[in-house]
């Protein structure tokens, strides 16, 4: 994250073909934040093909607090957000949508909540203004599932409007549709996460960029996130466990096969017993799982050691003066 003057808030706004809403949104931001905060507004033009960039250029010319990052092509909302985060200088980072669905007037309350001692305050669009069947119902299900699986209980992971302490974003790398999992990742890392109701409005102009397909991507990302988080330090426990189950299954079916051959009446030849094939398959699977676990162990070491990535997160260290000097 680049260093700058003492900026309190960085608003990060991904933009894909939103030329007609940008001016209005900018006006609302100025009105909501005015002279109360020192802030910057980072618009990330995610490969717009309409006049969005022209509008942004205009805003930037008139107001030095407006910064514009133009991506070379459309990389997707998550990537656009990541670019904006990387270039923010504020102590608090607030992403929001460019279409005016999030209300900048909510920002002061989010920031106040953050200063009560949280690292992330996530918006909750309680009264969401989107279509029911393609958006609200899938989102309900997805949120329920994400809460269950991550153990982090929020009503609305998908709400773009959130407030982050800048440090809580520094370590996080974003892929796919993953910006919605930041609160979960952060909470696993020991950060304090809470939520707060925010206003939500119908899209004013332009079209939504998403449909039902996003829900499936989100579910796949959820699996990845869960897997990475729970198992990324000890994959052999997972794969070894699966291997163990397969091994047991193989031994049990193998015993049944032997029983049918030698003890049952009439005896059943091994080559006529389908359980024999099952037993062999399970044994192969068991060996594969264990090998995969060992391979994963190597990968995990590379992952952590190549980036000097610790497997823990420190809150504070109380040092004796002596130690501090030596360090």
E-strand ranges in 132-254 read: 162-165, 193-197
Q: Which is nearer to Mg ion, 97 or 221 (CB)?
A: 97
Residue 74 contact partner, candidates Mg ion, ligand UDP, none, CB within 5 to 8 A by sort of partner: ligand UDP
- Near ligand UDP in 169-228, by CB under 6 A: 208-210
**Residue nearer to Mg ion on the CB measure, 77 or 150:** 77
Residues 48-107 that bind Mg ion (CB under 5 A): 97, 99, 101
Q: How many Cα atoms occupy the beta-carbon half-sphere of 263 within 13 Å? A: 5
**Minimum gap (Å) between residue 160 Cβ and Mg ion:** 8
Q: Residue count at the site for ligand UDP (CB under 6 A)?
A: 16
Q: Which of residues 96-155 bind Mg ion (CB under 5 A)?
A: 97, 99, 101
- Is residue 191 within 8 A of residue 120, CB to CB? The reply is yes
Closest separation in Å from C-beta 125 to ligand UDP: 10
Q: How many CB atoms lie under 10 A from the CB of residue 122?
A: 26
> What's the rounded Cα separation, in Å, for the pair 286 and 45?
49
Closest approach, Cβ 86 to ligand UDP, in A, equals 15
Nearer to ligand UDP, 115 or 208 (CB): 208
User: Closest CB to ligand UDP among 62 and 208?
Assistant: 208
Contacted by 77, from ligand UDP, Mg ion, none: CB < 5 to 8 Å by type: ligand UDP
Minimum Å gap between C-beta 165 and ligand UDP is 23
Binding positions for ligand UDP, 84-143, rule CB under 6 A: 97-99, 101
Identify the H or E element spanning 107.
helix 107-114
Note whether 113 and 196 are within 8 A (CB).
yes
Rounded CA-CA distance 69/80 in Å is 9
- Is residue 18 involved in binding ligand UDP (CB under 6 A)? yes
Region of 151 on the Ramachandran plot (φ > 0 left; ψ -120 to 50 alpha; else beta): left
Residue 233 binding target from ligand UDP, Mg ion, none, CB below 5 to 8 Å by type: none
| Burial zone of 6 (CB within 10 Å; 0-12 exposed, 13-18 middle, 19+ buried) | exposed
Burial group, residue 64, by CB count within 10 angstroms (0-12, 13-18, 19+): exposed
Pick the closer one to ligand UDP by CB: 14 or 243: 14
Exposure string of 248-279, with b = 16+ CB inside 10 Å and e = fewer, is ebbeebbebbeebeeeeeeebeeeebebbebb
Q: Tell me whether residue 36 or residue 204 sits nearer to Mg ion (CB atom).
A: 204
The residue from 12, 26, 41, 46 that contacts ligand UDP (CB under 6 A) is 46
Distances in whole angstroms, Cα of residue 39 to Cα of each of 27, 89, 243: 14, 9, 54
* CB closer to ligand UDP, 208 vs 224: 208
Binding to ligand UDP (CB under 6 A): which residues in 50-89? Answer: 74, 76-77, 80
**Taking the chain, what is the end-to-end CA distance rounded to the nearest angstrom?**
24
Which token pair is 7? 């900026």
Q: Which residues of this protein are in contact with ligand UDP, per CB under 6 A?
A: 14-16, 18, 46, 74, 76-77, 80, 97-99, 101, 208-210
Q: Which residues of this protein are in contact with Mg ion, per CB under 5 A?
A: 97, 99, 101
């Amino acid at each position: 994250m680049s260093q700058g003057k003492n900026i309190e808030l960085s608003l990060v706004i991904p933009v894909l073909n939103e030329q007609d809403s940008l001016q209005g949104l900018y006006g609302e931001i100025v009105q909501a934040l005015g002279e109360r905060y020192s802030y910057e507004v980072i618009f990330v033009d995610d490969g717009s093909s309409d006049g969005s960039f022209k509008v942004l250029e205009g805003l930037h010319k008139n107001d030095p607090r407006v910064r514009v990052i133009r991506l070379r092509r459309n990389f997707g909302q998550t990537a656009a957000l990541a670019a904006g985060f990387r270039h923010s200088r504020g102590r608090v980072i607030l992403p929001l949508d460019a279409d005016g669905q999030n209300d900048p007037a909510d920002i002061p309350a989010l920031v106040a909540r953050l200063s009560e001692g949280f690292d992330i305050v996530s918006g909750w669009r309680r009264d969401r203004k989107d279509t029911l069947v393609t958006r609200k119902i899938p989102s309900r299900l997805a949120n329920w599932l994400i809460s269950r699986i991550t153990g982090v209980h929020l009503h609305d992971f998908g709400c773009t409007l959130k407030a982050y302490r800048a440090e809580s974003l520094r370590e996080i790398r974003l892929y796919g549709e993953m910006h919605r999992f930041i609160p979960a990742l952060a909470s696993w890392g020991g950060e304090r996460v809470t939520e707060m109701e925010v206003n939500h409005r119908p899209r004013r102009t332009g079209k939504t960029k998403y449909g039902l397909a996003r829900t499936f991507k989100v579910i796949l990302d959820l699996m990845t996130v869960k897997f990475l988080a729970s198992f990324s330090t000890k994959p052999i426990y997972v794969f070894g466990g699966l291997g163990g189950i397969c091994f047991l299954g193989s031994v049990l079916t193998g015993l049944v096969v032997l029983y049918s051959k030698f003890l049952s009446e009439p005896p059943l030849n091994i080559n006529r017993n389908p359980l024999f094939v099952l037993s062999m398959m399970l044994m192969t699977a068991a060996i594969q799982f264990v090998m995969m676990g060992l391979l994963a162990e190597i990968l995990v070491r590379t992952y952590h050691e190549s980036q000097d990535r610790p497997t823990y997160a420190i809150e504070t260290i109380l040092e004796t003066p002596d130690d501090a000097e030596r360090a």
